[in-house]
């Protein structure tokens, strides 16, 4: 194991989004490190995600990761950049891929160059979707050695960004780490995503809708566990290495939807089937053995039913947070 890296100040790109803001909260609550959140505040970024955090510990800078001049102001102030910023919704990438290439590829390039100019470390947060998908009857899971086979414009853009990070380490010696994580759930997740979409539909008295045959499998992890894993990798991971983050949470979509319906007092068949989306990956599954073996990390949220109940309660108690986004989505909010 390498010597522990002890940052006093980190930049969190995309830190007003779902996963990034939960990481900023985790750092503020579990360490003495200061956080500068850099976020463009697109539809998926919300300053309210950072509400209640000590402004002396966590500050928000509204800006674009493609803005090299801004990065040259911010990066020298910090010890490391933790790069969450990304366009991340598959349906949106199919409808309009250009923002995904700009943010996920060009934005990552600009961050790498800024870190190279100023001698700073970068941790790059990626997705298991870069590996494509697995067959439903395949016992295998993704590992750090799995070949890349991205299926959508979104996952292709993330695969490209991963390759850039590796190239900047090998070519320029930039100190980097990469993590590829499975599907997150928990508070502050935008209502376009699967679990909050279904929860808020039920809260509105609407029948949820489900793509295809509902057998598509996702590997769920609570966002707090993702945050603790990223911190472990940033501070104790080996430079130049990739670590997969997962919590053994494989469930197919129809099971998760039925879990939500039961937990919210609705019949488990109270939903409608709709035509599948193009290129819909069948199964994701993470083998996080390297992370657990090398860094001793373990998830805290191992009871999915309990985590789901807490998530449902959060959305029930925070309608003022999600209602504007739900209304902005309109009919697009109905389908998964």
Cα–Cα distance between 37 and 41 in angstroms, integer?
11
Q: How many CB atoms lie within 10 A of CB 194?
A: 21
Cα–Cα distance between 28 and 268 in angstroms, integer?
39
Catalytic residue positions, numbered:
128-129, 154
CA diameter of the chain: 57
Alpha helices in the chain (DSSP H): 18-30, 68-74, 90-95, 98-100, 107-118, 153-172, 194-203, 223-236, 253-263, 289-295, 304-317, 319-329
DSSP per-residue codes, 284-305: --B--HHHHHHH----S---HH
Buried b (16+ CB within 10 A) or exposed e, 109-121: bbbbbbbbeeebb
């Amino acid at each position: 194991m390498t010597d522990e890296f002890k940052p006093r100040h980190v930049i969190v790109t995309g830190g007003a989004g779902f996963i990034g803001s939960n990481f900023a909260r985790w750092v503020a609550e579990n360490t003495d490190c200061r956080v500068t959140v850099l976020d463009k505040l697109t539809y998926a970024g919300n300053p309210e995600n950072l509400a209640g955090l000590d402004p002396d510990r966590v500050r928000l800078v509204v800006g674009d990761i493609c803005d090299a001049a801004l990065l040259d102001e911010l990066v020298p102030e910090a010890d490391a950049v933790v790069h969450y910023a990304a366009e991340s919704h598959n349906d949106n990438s199919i409808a309009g891929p250009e923002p995904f290439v700009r943010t996920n590829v060009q934005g990552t390039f600009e961050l790498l160059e800024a870190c190279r100019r100023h001698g700073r470390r970068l941790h790059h947060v990626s997705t298991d979707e870069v590996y494509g998908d697995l067959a439903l009857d395949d016992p295998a899971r993704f590992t750090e050695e799995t070949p890349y086979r991205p299926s959508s414009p979104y996952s292709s853009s993330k695969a490209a960004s991963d390759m850039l990070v590796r190239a900047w380490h090998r070519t320029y010696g930039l100190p980097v780490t990469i993590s590829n994580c499975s599907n997150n759930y928990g508070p502050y997740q935008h209502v376009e995503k699967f679990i909050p979409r279904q929860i808020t539909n039920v809260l509105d008295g609407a029948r949820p809708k489900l793509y295809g045959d509902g057998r598509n499998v996702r590997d769920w992890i609570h966002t707090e566990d993702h945050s603790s894993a990223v911190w472990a990798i940033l501070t104790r991971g080996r430079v130049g290495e990739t670590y997969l983050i997962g919590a053994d949470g494989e469930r197919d979509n129809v099971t998760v939807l039925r879990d939500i319906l039961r937990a919210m007092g609705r019949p488990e068949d109270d939903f409608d089937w709709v035509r599948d989306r193009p290129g819909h990956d069948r199964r994701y599954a993470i083998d996080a053995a390297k992370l657990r073996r090398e860094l001793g990390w373990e998830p805290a949220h191992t009871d999915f039913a309990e985590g789901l109940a807490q998530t449902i309660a959060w959305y029930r108690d925070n309608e003022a947070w999600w209602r504007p986004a739900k209304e902005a989505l309109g009919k697009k909010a109905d389908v998964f």
